[in-house]
Amino acid sequence: MAETIRAAGETSAAERRKVVAASIVGTTIEWYDFFIYAFAANLVLAQLFFQPAGPAMMQIISLVTIGLSFLFRPLGAFLAGHFGDRLGRRPMLVITLLLMGIATTGIGLLPTYGDIGATAPVVLILLRVLQGLSAGGEWGGAVLMAVEHAPVRRRGLYGIFPQLGVPLGMLLASAMLALVQQLAPGPAFAAWGWRVPFLFSFLLIVAGFLIRRSVDESPVFSEIARTRQQESAPIAQVFRRCTPLVVLSALFFAGNNSVGYMLTGGYVQGLASRPAGQGGLGYDPVQVQMAVLVAALVWAASTLAAGALSDQFGRKPVVMVGWVVQAVGVIPLFQLVFTGGVSGVLFGTCLLSLGLGLTYGPQAVWYAETFPASIRFSGISISYALGGVIGGAFAPTIAQILLQSYGSTWAIVVYLLVMTGIGALVTSLLKDRTRVPLDLESERNGTWKDWDVKGGSRAV
């Protein structure tokens, strides 16, 4: 404990502020990029890139491309985890951000099927793969830079800043899409307007790059490097020492992620905004985006509160309450969207966002407190990426298939409640290690030799 406090204390308040900015700006850009793609895939990419598949399949194929990048997130997590544990947290922050920027800008410049034929969807898929590789390593580096720099009793608060990237990215994307749809409505949006949000990402990447390259390395990794204690094969060590924790941590995220992707995957927005002839409800797309923008603010506030509360009461109690609130938000969601117009979208998405923030906010710090220092980057990155594949990758696709198969949104509700239940179950099995020392010395003295996954009071 003394070693952790000392290491954290070596980071000045000014440096911690830079670290917070570096962690939040990158994850915000990552999720902004994801949201604008998800919305475009729900609204226009089917017609622009997959029209030859026919009316019945082009929308499903377009939705599949949202999840496709998640299949490559584990590979990105393996690569970033290996080099993050070998070379440091900071270099991975910069590299992953640049890769994401190249891919997103490329999508904004990509000709459509009508321009270059079958080459267009092929290149689109390759750019999605690149986005998946970069996103697989982005989150882990941002989390460790924030948490490993943090004072021990405020780690939950510092850990929420990478988590805020989701609601802030959704807020930024919703605002940008609403603006562009206002300036380029209808055919103009399909012709050129959809490209503007992708190209705007280039400016965000430049700003993020300048911030991230200026921060110092994590004090925990600096100690590892100084003492030459890097693992030669950290990923192999993760699976040798703590496979059960990787599985449980992945399912933890899947329980949140599958529900969250009703919003972050653009499914609710697409369902509400698409014309009735394309299987939607025909609501004003600008008003729908503004409703989701308000929900993003609720999500951000809930995430912030969850991180602070977890420092006071422990990670597990806050998250368990979050699963209950998340289930309460799932049940009426689609009824509100279908029967309440844009007001129903607003109320339904805001209610859902309360639970999403409570389950997602403490996740970053809990992951960091679950894995020892020498393999921490690999452990949390792989768990997060696998959880994304299991939970969020194809959640919008599954929702669309269930809707088409059963003709009722209640089938989607059952699916989301099952995933929420899985999240609650694995949370009850994971050990709460609030305030456990994060430094290398604690790994040497046996803090992480106890790999039981259930029970135990929170470490103090």
DSSP state string for 396-452: HHHHHHHHHHHSSTHHHHHHHHHHHHHHHHHHHHSPP-TT---SHHHHHTTTTS---
- Over residues 69-101, the pLDDT tens digits come to 777 878 877 777 777 777 766 777 778 878 888
Between 84 and 358, where is the model more confident? 358
Side-chain half-sphere CA neighbours of 296 within 13 A: 27
Answer for the pair 27, 138: CB distance below 8 angstroms, yes or no: yes
Mean pLDDT computed over every residue of the chain? 83
Closest C-alpha among 27, 245, 22, 255 to residue 136: 27
Q: Give the CA diameter of the chain.
A: 64
Average pLDDT over every residue of 365-370: 90
Quick check: 149 pLDDT over 90?
no
Q: Is residue 333 part of a domain?
A: yes
Helical ranges in 314-340 per DSSP H: 315-330, 333-339
Exposure string for 213-248, b = 16+ CB within 10 A, e = fewer: eebebbbbbbbbeeeeeebeebbebbeebbeebbbb
Going by pLDDT thresholds of 50, 70 and 90, the confidence category of residue 164 is confident
Element (H, E) at 262: helix 234-264
- Over residues 411-445, the pLDDT tens digits come to 999 999 999 999 999 999 998 888 777 766 666 66
How many independent structural domains does the chain possess?
1
Q: Look at the block and give the residue holding tokens 């290491």.
A: 7
Cβ partners under 8 Å of residue 409, min gap 6: 334, 335, 338, 403
Q: Is residue 355 part of a domain?
A: yes
Answer for the pair 172, 53: CB distance below 8 angstroms, yes or no: no
Going by pLDDT thresholds of 50, 70 and 90, the confidence category of residue 396 is confident
Average pLDDT over every residue of 273-285: 82
Quick check: 8 pLDDT over 50?
no
Answer for the pair 127, 175: CB distance below 8 angstroms, yes or no: no
Q: Look at the block and give the residue holding tokens 């029209």.
A: 51
Q: Is residue 1 part of a domain?
A: no
Residue 137 exposed, middle or buried by CB count within 10 Å (0-12, 13-18, 19+): buried
Q: Is residue 437 part of a domain?
A: yes
Answer for the pair 319, 429: CB distance below 8 angstroms, yes or no: no
Cβ partners under 8 Å of residue 321, min gap 6: 358
Q: Is residue 238 part of a domain?
A: yes
Helical ranges in 44-164 per DSSP H: 45-49, 55-71, 73-86, 89-109, 113-116, 119-149, 155-163
Q: Is residue 54 part of a domain?
A: yes
Q: How far is CA 428 from the centre of its chain?
A: 22
pLDDT of residue 3: 37
Quick check: 9 pLDDT over 50?
no
Average pLDDT over every residue of 316-339: 96
The one-letter code for the residue type at 354 is L
Q: Look at the block and give the residue holding tokens 């369902």.
A: 271
Q: How far is CA 11 from the centre of its chain?
A: 27
Q: Where are the beta strands (DSSP E) in 168-324?
A: none
Average pLDDT over every residue of 373-377: 81
Answer for the pair 428, 320: CB distance below 8 angstroms, yes or no: yes
Answer for the pair 26, 165: CB distance below 8 angstroms, yes or no: yes
Quick check: 328 pLDDT over 60?
yes
C-alpha to C-alpha distances, 137 to 98, 128, 129, 237, 380, nearest whole angstrom: 12, 15, 13, 18, 10
- Could you tell me the two tokens for 139? 């989150």
Answer for the pair 101, 44: CB distance below 8 angstroms, yes or no: no
Give the domain extent around 161: 8-444
Average pLDDT over every residue of 167-175: 84
Q: Is residue 457 part of a domain?
A: no
pLDDT of residue 224: 65
CATH code of 438's domain: 1.20.1250.20
Please state, in angstroms and rounded to a whole number, the distance separating the CA atoms of residues 310 and 316: 8
pLDDT of residue 40: 86
Q: Is residue 82 part of a domain?
A: yes
The count of other CB atoms within 10 Å of the CB of residue 206 is 12
pLDDT of residue 456: 37
